[in-house]
Amino acid sequence: MVIGLFTELLSPGGVQRAGRHIASVATKFAADHSLPCRFLSLNDRQGLHPVHVGSQGFHITGHAHDKSQFVLAALRAAGRGPSIVIAAHPHLAPVVAVMRLRSRKFRTIVFAHGIEVWQPMGWVRRYALRQADLVTAPSHDTVQHLIHEQGIRVERVRQLPWGLDPEFEERLRTNAHPSRPQAFPEGARIILTVGRWDPVERYKGADTLISALPQVLRAAPDAVLVLVGNGADRPRLEQLARDFGVMENTRFLHGLTQEELFACYAHCDIFALPSRGEGFGLVFLEAMAHGKPVIGGRHGGALDVIVDGVTGLLVPHGDTAILSCSLESLLVDPARACEMGAKGRQRVQTSYSFERFQMGLGQAMEHVLIRQL
């Protein structure tokens, strides 16, 4: 049996999307090995829910933030003699340790994402994480943090980059030209950013983008910054745009469908997320897949995804002057921007397809399964 533990799968967000990808691959792996599988989610709404990733379907059981019921369900599942237990977030490693009370025969894979393991975790989580047979991370930077900050043995860590969503890949294959979402600017050069605008995620750098806009507008007066996402920090960002006098050149969009988000990438000129805390950055892949040049923070997983000066530009987090110059350089030189975008598209197709992720995770699961046998 394959058991998967997840924080959340039904909501938008990079961790949730990565979790859906993990569950999809685990479902296929279980079917290929004639194993049943069961997926438990801590924070999704109560009950059994169908989920599809491309053509692959599976079900998850949500526990509506009820930690005790979630742990009890995991213990019951452990009693069924699983072969592999997957924890799709390091914070779930202690639940896997509790499951050992019912069975010590299964092997475990824990998935790290980024910033949550960049500083030493509490001793319980750190100890539980060290007991995993394999810990994966999407970037070289996070691999190093697992080794040096969490004390994971080198041979138990594997780099496994995320891949582009299969539905995203399918839209690209159809070569569709989606219409602009309502309120998306026309007749302007678009700087796009996508994220969740919450106070705890200010490291994404949306405020730096807004503060860089006045200088950008001197070189490109028709530039518009489009911020896709929502959260408790959005009113602060809107006020910041008013304070800098750039509200007319700023658009805040939220509640978009996947098709509308796809259209935002298709119609932008530059994608920018000057973050200091991206463990990987699936949004970079989505923009690059559309042939757009990308600007990211010179930190974390962006160093793996973006080839500086080739597929985009890397900037120090919080440096408004360098960010402004980087944006200007691409807006005033569309030929260079187009060349970077083309090389970015090629990089995604070569290194970050869902098929490549599926193959890598399948090999990792095969590895731990063989160790068990």
Tens digit of each residue's pLDDT, the chain (373 residues): 999 999 999 998 889 999 999 999 999 999 999 999 999 999 999 999 999 998 899 999 999 999 999 999 999 999 999 999 999 999 999 999 999 988 888 999 999 999 999 999 999 999 999 999 999 999 999 999 999 999 999 999 999 999 999 988 888 888 767 788 888 998 899 999 999 999 999 999 999 999 999 999 999 999 999 999 999 999 999 999 999 999 999 999 998 988 899 999 999 999 999 999 899 999 999 999 999 999 999 999 999 999 999 999 999 999 999 999 999 999 999 999 999 999 999 999 999 999 999 999 999 999 998 765 4
H helix runs in 258-310, sequence order: 258-267, 282-289, 302-305
Q: State whether 310 and 344 are in the same domain.
A: yes
User: Domain total for the chain?
Assistant: 2
Q: State whether 251 and 274 are in the same domain.
A: yes
Q: State whether 52 and 14 are in the same domain.
A: yes
Q: State whether 339 and 190 are in the same domain.
A: yes
Range of the domain at 246: 168-351
Q: State whether 196 and 317 are in the same domain.
A: yes
List CB contacts of 275: < 8 A, sequence separation 6 or more: 195, 203, 204, 205, 281, 296, 297, 299, 300, 302, 317
Are 74 and 39 a contacting pair, CB within 8 Å?
A: no
Length of the chain: 373
H helix or E strand, kind and range, residue 208 = helix 206-219
Q: State whether 342 and 280 are in the same domain.
A: yes
Q: State whether 159 and 175 are in the same domain.
A: no
Q: In this structure, are strands 37-41 and 2-6 parallel, antiparallel, or unpaired?
A: parallel
CA 112/CA 116 separation, integer angstroms: 8
pLDDT score, position 371 = 66
Beta strands in 99-148 (DSSP E): 107-111, 134-137
Q: State whether 243 and 153 are in the same domain.
A: no
Q: State whether 336 and 292 are in the same domain.
A: yes
pLDDT score, position 373 = 44
Backbone angles phi, psi at 110, to 5 degrees: -115, 135
List CB contacts of 29: < 8 A, sequence separation 6 or more: 2, 35, 361, 362, 365, 366
Q: State whether 248 and 335 are in the same domain.
A: yes
What's the CATH code of the domain at 346? 3.40.50.2000
Q: State whether 361 and 299 are in the same domain.
A: no
How far is C-alpha 274 from the geometric centre of its chain's CA atoms?
Answer: 15
Q: State whether 104 and 198 are in the same domain.
A: no
Question: Which of 286, 255, 281 is CA-nearest to residue 11?
Answer: 255
